Structure 1
Amino acid sequence: MGVKPWRTREQLINTLIQQRHLKCDSKCDLDTILKENNYFQLINGLENFLLPDIDTRPKTFATENVNDFLRLYQFDEELKRTVQLLTEKFEDKLKTSIAHNFSKNHCMNLNDTMQYTNNSNFVNIGGDDQYPFKLYQYKKIYNNFDRFLLFKSNFVDNLVNHHDFIDRSFYRSNSYTAPSGVTTFSDDPKVAVPFWVTIQTLDFGNLVWLLHYLQDSDMRDVLDDFDLPLRKRFFFLNALDIIKELRNNCAHGSLLLRFRTPEYIKLNTNLVSYFNLSPYHNGGNTTYSSNISLFDSLKILYLFVDMSPLKKVFKKIIYQNNRYFHKKSYDLNQRILLSIGADSYHEIKTLFH
């Protein structure tokens, strides 16, 4: 299929109503709907849920109407907002754990406040030939230890100058003397910003890089906060890969109903076994599996946060479809479950209890 040319809203509406037979009652203002919602996401992204026969060409509807699309789209938006809040809750806990434990081990004294910028307190994994997935999702992390954000010579300058909540006068002490190896603020070497403040400025991707570089003693303490032993280090790091993809998908506005982790993210065999995951593809080799569904990804997030807020979101769409959607040739709720990788609504209720 070639690139589709631009069309006016009127042309899009005529195609939907006249050619594809989508129903739109007198109360439906399709022009307003298309002004407020992305056509590609609303129609193209969801049409396979609502086509009587997804293999028939041209693609035409039977009794389906615009409200069916809106209900699905609003469900996806609510699902996305809820999952994003859950990933943010996990991220807050992760930041708190990293900053607390690293500071306990390396930054107890005033002069050691900035030891989190000293690369000698971390491990350069680039020297480990056996490091997992070093040719896949961890390739940049593996090869760029010296280029990590915290180790850059201008890190503290950027930290203080680009974040209004970090007041240089507040974090200044005449008693502070920077030890060898740490980064200093070029305008005033008496400024030292604690790690629990700095870590709030790091995005999820940088948190993942940081965790890969933690010494075993520091990683042990972080894992203990999540009730995991040190031997689960790579299990945990791989779980973060999945959670990061969930978070990014929610933040960037893509339909969550069609979510799958990208193929380049390979899966730890212990992770697959523990959560009973169903990878879709082997990624071109027989060693590492990849590509899991939304439901499998949510199983992983469930290990770290309370997922009960999702129960209400799924219950709402299931009941709405049972009430408003009547189509004998297919079950819309079953199509939703199939898309996210859940075997049944009961399985969802069990996980999100």
Structure 2
Amino acid sequence: MNERILKRPTTVREQLDILIDKKLIVENEIAALNLLRKVNYYRFTAYTLPFKQNNIFSSGITFNKVYELYQFDAKFRNALMEIIEYIEISFRTQISNDIALKYGSTGYRNSNNFYKQAWHLKFIQEIDRCIEHSYREPVITHYRENYNAQYPIWVVSEVMTFGIVSKLYKNMKLEDRKRIARTYYANVDYRDIENWLEVLTIIRNRCAHYSRLFNYKIPTSIKYTRNEKATLAKNLVYGIIYNSKYLITDQDFWTNWVIRLVDLISRYKEIDLTWMGFPPDWKQLLISK
């Protein structure tokens, strides 16, 4: 198999010239050069993809228009982290309470309390790594020194990642998954919750690494709880925003968040929201249940 040769490194000036050669209009070259010194060229050009045809920019596309999209995406990521934080903390609490009350404070370490033993072994390995990484956290120190390193689930839940929370829920016994769904999320199927947590984990990790959400294709297909919403995209970020309204039970929190999202989007009227799966009636869909 023939291997392609890597492109040679380019200077910031050369990078800007490449964009100009592809017919991007650069209003202020000094400002553009300064930006490319702070923002990786490869990262920046990912935002140019919707504006190109055959690798040439469409007529009238400017450097500032691309940068505006870049700025919007950064603010959009911050907004999404608010609802992801709410959901993550809620699920940590609900799962830890459920496991503790049914199986005891360290029942999470017993594979008999879960669906698949092989998955459980991997879960314990991941949990032990999280505890090790949190070695100097006061709560970990307290239980290590006073309880012979026996960590109850309500302590462990505070150091596990959202990805682990998602996988933990998926590996709970069917009756336990159904009980959590029924207790906290009326009329939401436990299988939908499994899917939503997995997708939210992907989005959270992208937000945490400042990765692009605009025109990002989610590798896991999004499920919807209502058949009439089957027209919503199954691999774009709006889909998981829409589903999040079922996971946030504090209506005031959700309403205020939607208001702030509307305000953010109103400040970037040139952004084409369809690239993220937003339908024309996106605001009404988020508010109605």
TM-score, length of structure 1 as denominator length:
0.67
* 1:167 equivalenced with 2:125 (yes/no): no
What's the CA shift for 1:25? 3.4
What's the CA shift for 1:120? 1.7
* 1:117 equivalenced with 2:114 (yes/no): no
Asked whether the 8 Å contact 1:86–1:307 carries over to 2, the reply is no
Q: Flag the 1:274–1:29 CA change in 2: closer, same or farther, 3 A.
A: same
What amino acid is the match of 1:148? Answer: K
* 1:338 equivalenced with 2:286 (yes/no): no
* Aligned counterpart for 1:298 among listed residues 238, 241, 250: 241
Question: 208-217 or 161-170: which moved more?
Answer: 161-170
**Alignment match, 1:47:** 48
Q: Residue deviations 1:15-55, cap 9 Å, x none?
A: 334652513237x522210011122232x222244x4xx43
Q: Which runs of 5+ in 1 are unaligned?
A: 108-112, 127-143, 174-187, 280-290, 322-331
What amino acid is the match of 1:341? Answer: G
* Aligned counterpart for 2:97 among listed residues 100, 106, 109: 100
What's the CA shift for 1:213? 2.4
Q: Flag the 1:242–1:81 CA change in 2: closer, same or farther, 3 A.
A: same
Q: Residue deviations 1:266-322, cap 9 Å, x none?
A: 555x6472643545xxxxxxxxxxx5222122111222132643543454444444x
Q: Flag the 1:293–1:13 CA change in 2: closer, same or farther, 3 A.
A: same
Asked whether the 8 Å contact 2:47–2:66 carries over to 1, the reply is yes
The CA distance in 2 between the partners of 1:100 and 1:242, in whole Å, is: 23
**Alignment match, 1:241:** 198
* Aligned counterpart for 2:212 among listed residues 244, 252, 255: 255
Q: Flag the 1:155–1:47 CA change in 2: closer, same or farther, 3 A.
A: closer
Q: Flag the 1:310–1:72 CA change in 2: closer, same or farther, 3 A.
A: farther
Structure 2 SS opposite 1:192: coil
**Alignment match, 1:87:** 84
The CA distance in 2 between the partners of 1:218 and 1:92, in whole Å, is: 19
Q: Taking every aligned residue pair, what percent have the same amino acid on both sides?
A: 16
- Which one has the bigger helix percentage? 2
Aligned length: 277
The CA distance in 2 between the partners of 1:267 and 1:25, in whole Å, is: 41
Q: Which runs of 5+ in 2 are unaligned?
A: 249-253
What's the CA shift for 1:117? 0.8
**Alignment match, 1:15:** 18
Asked whether the 8 Å contact 1:95–1:199 carries over to 2, the reply is yes
**Alignment match, 1:273:** 227
**Alignment match, 1:130:** none
The CA distance in 2 between the partners of 1:248 and 1:158, in whole Å, is: 16
What's the CA shift for 1:241? 2.1
Q: Flag the 1:32–1:314 CA change in 2: closer, same or farther, 3 A.
A: farther
| Correspondence list, 1:203-242, <5 A | 203-228=161-186, 232-242=189-199
TM-score, length of structure 2 as denominator length:
0.80
Q: Flag the 1:234–1:70 CA change in 2: closer, same or farther, 3 A.
A: same
